[in-house]
Amino acid sequence: MSHKFSRIIQGCMGWGIWGSDLSESEMVRRIHHCLEQGITTFDHADIYGDYTTEAAFGKAFISSGVKREDIQVITKCGIQYVGNTRDNEIKHYQYDAEYIIWSAEKSISDLKVDYLDLLLLHRPSPLIQPDEVAKAVDKLTSEGKIKSFGLSNFTPSQTELIASRSKVSANQIEFSITAFEAMWDGSLDHMMLNNVTPMCWSPLGTVFKENNEQTKRIHEVLDELVRKYDASKDQLLLAWILKHPSGIHPVIGTATPERITKASEAVTIDLSEIDWFRLLVASQGHKVA
């Protein structure tokens, strides 16, 4: 891809009212902190914070004094969310050309940028029409409003459908030690074959959220590896993802500076093949076939 993204991407959903609800000055500090750690890519979606988080980030970005060319901005569109800011009677998806263009332009305005480095369709809709998508992508691209285009949560066949009309540069999917189906269902193979950059949300999976047999097994292996690699558990879970040959970019959700720093350091951990498989086996609960 012509447009380079940092290997670790900072997800901004948790920076707004759906998470830590950072003040403008706190957001400015987080932006600078990310850049100091080599994290230059910021991931958004129009719906975050009930359509308020992009604007909050935009204000902070202007206040930060950071140059536009020093960061990469990703956002997503297409989910019509039921909240306080839009008159939607049911959560649904909308992908007509006019709406995609309007949504991208609104994000550009809210984020206080002249262009998006990457625009993603947030989730696949059964009613999506590739020609409508292409009409929007062509217009936004020719006007310099988007540098590249991609998808989020699309299967290989859904990706093929959109790619039949528009160049798909990235696909952001769920992937982690506890959600690794993308390795078996063809998703990551398909991205490698088609030069699509994989990004993954929720990269720590359920390891710190749930206490069950699976997570207990994973923690047992992690307890050993923490000592062996002199690394924290969250760093090892990121290193596990980073080892996959497709070159996945984890999208981290934290707003805590210390955790952002740790995540950025995970790129230096070279997990051995054996230890990679030990974590996989612990998660699966059985040996590989």
Q: Write out the catalytic residue numbers.
A: 48
DSSP structural state of residue 17: T
Lookup result for tokens 């217009």: 139
Neighbours of 158 (CB within 10 A): 18
Q: Strand, coil or helix: what is 117?
A: coil
At 104, give phi and psi (nearest 5°): -60, -45
Q: Which helix (H) or strand (E) holds 140?
A: helix 130-142
Q: Closest Cα to residue 121, out of 151, 159, 155?
A: 151
* Residue 275 contacts residue 226 (beta carbons within 8 Å): no
Angle at which helices 257-265 and 233-242 cross, to 10°: 40
Rounded alpha-carbon distances, angstroms, from residue 211 to 109, 214, 218, 231, 239: 42, 8, 11, 22, 22
Kindly give the residue spans of alpha helices, DSSP state H, lying in 143-271.
Answer: 156-163, 187-193, 213-229, 233-242, 257-265
Q: How far apart are CA 80 and CA 83, in angstroms?
A: 9
Q: Determine the number of helices (DSSP H) and then strands (DSSP E) in the chain.
A: 11, 10
